[in-house]
């Protein structure tokens, strides 16, 4: 979370200016909260330049619930969907899609997978085996654990359904290609506990009668995310974060910042044989930079010493090993410089 935003929240937590009470006390049915909700939606719309035919929803249950909700709402009997596997989160999305498809007599296909290469890269366009009749093509825009990212959207005729949990609002999107975008807010957008869902109007259909009301996108579209009590605090923070991004020059501005941060770190990795990037250079993520050291002992030592230098959270995910530096929107440029300097010192002592 950007420091300026933490400070603003701190200033406003006791009383939201003019409201006479805290956001934590406010009814989700109050006029003031409805204004906040409308402003947050507007912030999302402005940043992504969303056309009128896209709905913006603030739900709960995380991206993980969207793994199920997406096929529950978009995939019906006799239909098929393509899934592109680029990491653990895509695999989880696929697993849930299979459950829905099996029950409904629909089909889920794997259009491509880079698992045999430890998910170190994004598939090339010629490696995508897409079904021309697929209802949607699901992909994970940024692979949080493996440190790979689609540099541009997969090319396909069907609408894209994208898990953008770890790079939402980090760069502009070609929105027309998307039918559905979902993202847990907790990385680039706000606190944990809100899930942003953006869905194109023509993808909303009559769902099977036994689908739980809360799992039907139409419920939340009709009620503007107020069917039940939403995460009011989370939505308030998203509103503030959207304004912060806007002030930095919108998604183009934040993308430039993110590119600069990532480039500095990748340059440091490429400058020596001591550090080795996990991701193939053409698939590198600007959000999560994954790298290895010559052996696991040194990696453990690196994490320990880095933590002592206030460089926290660098241990890679257990499925990948090594190190992972997450450079989400709020992470400051100075933090990257500090990490790179620490890396140089560590190599000098241990290389
Ligand atoms: N997809 C991706 C790409 C993620 O990075 C994460 C969380 N790190 C998830 C899905 C799961 O999100 P949630 O915890 O919001 O369910």
- pLDDT in the model for residue 318: 87
Mutational test site, ligand 1, from 85, 165, 185, max ligand atoms within 8 Å of CB:
165
CATH of 3-247, picked from 3.40.718.10, 3.30.930.10, 3.40.640.10, 2.60.120.260, is: 3.40.640.10
Q: How many whole angstroms separate alpha carbon 31 and alpha carbon 341?
A: 50
Render pLDDT for 8-25 as a digit per residue (tens, 0 to 9): 999 999 999 999 999 999
CA of 307 to the centre of ligand 1 (A): 24
- Residue 34: burial class (beta carbons within 10 Å; 0-12, 13-18, 19+): middle
DSSP letters spanning 226-285: -SS---HHHHHHHHHHHHHHHHTTHHHHHHHHHHHHHHHHHHHHHT-SSSEESS-GGGB-
Could you list the active site residues?
89, 163, 187
For the beta sheet containing 54-59, the strands, ordered from the edge strand earlier in sequence to the opposite edge, are 54-59, 195-200, 178-184, 160-163, 137-140, 80-85, 107-113
Contact 138, 163 (CB under 8 A): yes
Residue 5 in tokens: 């935003």
Cα 175 from chain centre: 15
User: Looking at the predicted structure, is the pLDDT value of residue 291 above 90?
Assistant: yes
Residue 310 has pLDDT above 90, yes or no: yes
- Sorted by where each begins, the domain ranges of the chain are 3-247, 251-350
Atom 4, ligand 1: residue with shortest CA distance: 165
CB 130 within 8 A of CB 265: no
Return the percentage of the chain with pLDDT > 90, whole number. 99
| Ramachandran class of 22: left when φ > 0, alpha when ψ lies in -120 to 50, beta otherwise | beta
251-350: CATH topology is 3.90.1150
Question: Residue 87: CB within 6 Å of ligand 1?
Answer: no
Would the CA dihedral through 246, 247, 252, 256 be positive or negative? negative
Q: Which residue CA neighbors atom 3 of ligand 1 most closely?
A: 165
- pLDDT computed for residue 152 by the predictor: 96
Mean pLDDT estimate for the chain? 97
Please give the average per-residue pLDDT across 74-94, as a whole number: 98
DSSP-derived pairing of the beta strands 178-184 and 160-163: parallel
The reported pLDDT for the residue numbered 240 is 98
Binding site membership of 144 for ligand 1 (Cβ less than 6 Å): yes
Q: Looking at residue 351, what is its pLDDT?
A: 85
Q: Which of 56, 199, 71 is nearest to 134 (CA)?
A: 71
pLDDT higher than threshold 90 for residue 156: yes
Q: How far is the CA of 184 from the centre of ligand 1 (A)?
A: 6
Cβ 239 under 6 angstroms from ligand 1: no
Q: Which residues pair with 230 in a beta bridge?
A: none
Q: Assess contact for 123 and 114: CB atoms under 8 A.
A: yes
> Residue 320 above 90 pLDDT?
no
């Amino acid at each position: 979370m950007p420091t300026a935003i933490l400070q603003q929240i701190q200033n406003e937590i006791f009383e939201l200016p003019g409201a006479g009470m805290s956001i934590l006390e406010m009814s989700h049915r109050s006029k003031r909260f409805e204004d906040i909700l409308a402003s947050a939606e507007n912030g999302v719309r402005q940043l992504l330049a969303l056309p009128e035919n896209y709905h913006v929803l603030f739900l709960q249950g995380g991206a993980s619930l969207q793994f199920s909700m997406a096929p529950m709402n978009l995939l019906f009997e006799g239909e098929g969907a393509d899934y592109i596997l680029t990491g653990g989160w895509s695999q989880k999305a696929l697993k849930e899609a299979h459950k829905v498809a099996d029950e409904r007599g629909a089909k889920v296909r794997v259009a491509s997978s880079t698992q045999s290469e430890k998910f170190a890269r994004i598939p090339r366009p010629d490696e995508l085996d897409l079904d021309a009749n697929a209802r949607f093509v699901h992909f994970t825009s940024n692979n949080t654990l493996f440190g790979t990212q689609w540099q541009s959207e997969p090319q396909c005729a069907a609408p894209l359904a994208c898990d953008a949990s770890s790079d939402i609002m980090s760069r502009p999107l070609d929105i027309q290609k998307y039918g559905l975008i979902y993202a847990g807010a907790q990385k680039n957008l706000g606190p944990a506990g809100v899930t942003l869902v953006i869905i194109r109007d023509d993808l909303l259909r009559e769902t099977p009668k036994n689908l739980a009301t809360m799992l039907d996108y139409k419920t939340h579209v009709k009620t503007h995310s107020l069917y039940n009590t939403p995460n009011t605090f989370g939505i308030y923070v998203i509103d503030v974060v959207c304004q912060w991004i806007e002030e930095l020059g919108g998604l183009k501005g934040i993308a430039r910042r993110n590119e600069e941060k990532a480039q500095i770190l990748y340059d440091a990795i490429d400058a020596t044989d001591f550090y080795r990037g996990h991701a193939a250079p053409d698939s590198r993520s600007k959000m999560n930079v994954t790298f290895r050291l010559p052996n696991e002992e040194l990696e453990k030592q690196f994490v320990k010493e880095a933590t002592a230098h206030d460089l926290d959270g660098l241990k890679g995910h257990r499925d990948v090993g090594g190190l992972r530096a997450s450079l989400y929107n709020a992470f400051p440029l100075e933090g990257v410089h500090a990490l790179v300097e620490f890396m140089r010192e560590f190599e000098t002592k241990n290389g």
